[in-house]
Amino acid sequence: MKETSVLCLLFLISLLSCTTNQARLTVSPSYSQFFKDQSVYLSCEEDDSSAGWTLRRNTSKQQRTQCGDGWGTSAAPTCNIAVLPLDSGVYWCESREGPISNMVNLTVTGGSVILQSPVLPVMEGDDVTLLCKTKTTPSNLPAAFYKDGSLIRKQPTGHMTIQHVSRSDEGLYKCDISGHGESPSSWITVTGEDTTTPPPTSTSPPVLSVLSCVRLVCVVVLLVLLVLLVRRYVHKKPEDFKPEPDVVYSSLK
């Protein structure tokens, strides 16, 4: 009996998770920092196109405004912005029913140095390359990299690779190129879950295949649970019927 109710519960939970529409916000190019006037594309990639997701943001000036409403050019599901420093803020996708996607922090600078760091969480164990870039010169100047305010490395080529990232690499990063200045700071988030695949050029096929993969896993889990449930009930029946023949035989005697 107990096992059956546990199975029922699992069945319900997976049914619920399978019917919840999820959207992912992707950014192209997939970085956290931009120079003023760069073109940035933001897309709400969704599992079920009927959900009607909108891209929203909070900046220092306005809260929860949507793409096309005073900022960005909307061509659903993508929003294009020629970014200005005032566009710095938190961006996310939101459906009418309430669920929201992952959030991303974008920082736009009027200065001349940026740190190109991944905008989406990076997977534990992956290698991450950070690039310290100036607006005016080719990007191979020596740079200093900082994490949480402390100098971690000086690199002659402006690149820094963190190999096999772990949770301890999470933090606030910035860089500095002498004679040009300092970049803004950006968070690098490390995740252990396999739900985030940062596509470097943000084409939709990899995202779509991840989503259909999630759906496939859902369907398989549902099927397995169904089979287990049916087996439980089939097994039960002979036990329930056994006493009856006994009664019949004894009354015959």
Q: How far is the CB of 182 from ligand NAG (least distance, A)?
A: 16
CA of 224: how far to CAs of 10, 155, 216, 218, in Å?
11, 53, 12, 10
Residues contacting ligand NAG: total by CB under 6 A: 10
Q: How far is the CB of 161 from ligand NAG (least distance, A)?
A: 21
Alpha-carbon span 56 to 92, nearest angstrom: 5
Q: How far is the CB of 106 from ligand NAG (least distance, A)?
A: 9
Binding part of the chain for ligand NAG, among 2-10, 98-106, 195-203, 211-219 by CB under 6 A, reads 98-106
63 binds ligand NAG (CB under 6 A): yes
Q: Which of 30, 38, 58, 204 binds ligand NAG (CB under 6 A)?
A: 58
Binding part of the chain for ligand NAG, among 78-86, 99-107, 143-151, 208-216 by CB under 6 A, reads 99-107
Q: Which of 59, 74, 80, 105 binds ligand NAG (CB under 6 A)?
A: 105
Which tokens hold the place of 212? Answer: 């259909």
Q: Which of 6, 12, 82, 90 binds ligand NAG (CB under 6 A)?
A: 90
Binding part of the chain for ligand NAG, among 35-43, 69-77, 100-108, 153-161 by CB under 6 A, reads 100-108
Q: How does strand 186-188 pair with strand 33-35?
A: unpaired
Q: How far is the CB of 190 from ligand NAG (least distance, A)?
A: 12
Alpha-carbon span 185 to 197, nearest angstrom: 23
Q: How far is the CB of 191 from ligand NAG (least distance, A)?
A: 11
Sign for the CA dihedral angle at 26, 29, 34, 37 comes to negative
Backbone angles phi, psi at 197, to 5 degrees: -115, 100
Site string for ligand NAG, 111-140 (x = CB under 6 A): ------------------------------
How many residues does the structure list for the chain?
A: 253
Q: Which residues contact 23 (CB under 8 A, 6 or more apart)?
A: 44, 45, 46, 47, 51, 53, 93, 95, 99, 101
- 89-95 β-sheet, strand order: 33-35, 100-109, 89-95, 53-59, 65-66
Task: Provide the binding-site residues for ligand NAG, judged by CB under 6 A.
Answer: 58, 63-64, 90, 92, 103-105, 187, 189
